Structure 1
């Protein structure tokens, strides 16, 4: 899969992404709302290899240089039963935020999920204090469906979690 936008390429991850993946994925900025643990270089290498094998993670890379700046992840939607849906997650390196990159990447990726993969619904979640992610999902047409209080404990901090969804028919109405 290779999606090309005005400034980005959304593509499969590759081992040559390790030099960019390791510092980005382990940055305080990315880990703040990701609820993952910090990895050493070998841990990042193993994790990247697993992501490549599972084919559920995609690189967000700059079009001109193919430099990794973020990641999109899809997985089974455990909140819906027997519905053709997928769960969406993402992150972006701090130096690339507030420039419209993730809006651009997710807009193309959502179209891909609905048009090519034929999903009927997309679920996404954001920790309550992650106002930037919540605003992004709303901007992309996602509807807030729920708010789970005291949902996730990460490094001793308990967060509320906000659930969003975008249905294929809702996306069609936006076009």
Structure 2
């Protein structure tokens, strides 16, 4: 578990399903995600169960809790790739930046990742800005990388190198 001034970053629980369905079922939130919005609660429940099992083996992808509610998720989900999602009611409050700083410290200091990477749809200006705010640098781009509901999106790729320890 990680804690910040306003957040708790923790493992998933079945108690999170309703809160996370509000996130993953929202077309605004899922606009630039790599899959369509969850059609019903059972899709979110299946995802949470899968993430509970994965978290028990490798605690790398966290539920973001604010004032007792699961408001999003974030962490490393594939090798060194960082991903994150946040409920629309919590946008523009600096919460994801706060969560990412805590996760980045954990991945570099505690888990000794040499670098982190990220992939964002370049049309998602808020996610791109958040990545840059926490230190990620764009390293490339590609066209037509995801097709969701018949709509292609592009990818912008980012990297954040671990800070070098003082000699």
Aligned position for 1:36: 35
Equivalences for residues 12-161 of structure 1 within 5 A: 12-37=11-36, 38-55=38-55, 56-62=60-66, 65-77=67-79, 86-161=80-155
C-alpha displacement at 1:66, in angstroms?
2.0
1:30-67 deviation per Cα after TM superposition (whole angstroms, max 9, x unaligned): 211112132322222111100111114311111xx321
CA distance in 2, matches of 1:45, 1:159: 27
1:141-171 deviation per Cα after TM superposition (whole angstroms, max 9, x unaligned): 101000112222111111110000100037x
SS class of match (2:141): strand
33-42 vs 144-153, greater mean Cα deviation: 33-42
C-alpha displacement at 1:74, in angstroms?
1.6
SS class of match (2:111): coil
Aligned alpha-carbon RMSD (Å): 1.6
CA distance in 2, matches of 1:122, 1:23: 28
Work out whether residues 121 and 156 of structure 2, in 8 Å CA contact, stay in contact via their aligned partners in 1.
yes
CA distance in 1, matches of 2:61, 2:132: 22
Give unmatched runs, 5+ long, in structure 2: none
Aligned position for 1:83: none
TM, length-normalised to structure 1? 0.86
C-alpha displacement at 1:130, in angstroms?
0.4
SS class of match (2:50): helix
TM, length-normalised to structure 2? 0.90
Q: Which runs of 4+ in 1 moved over 6 A?
A: none
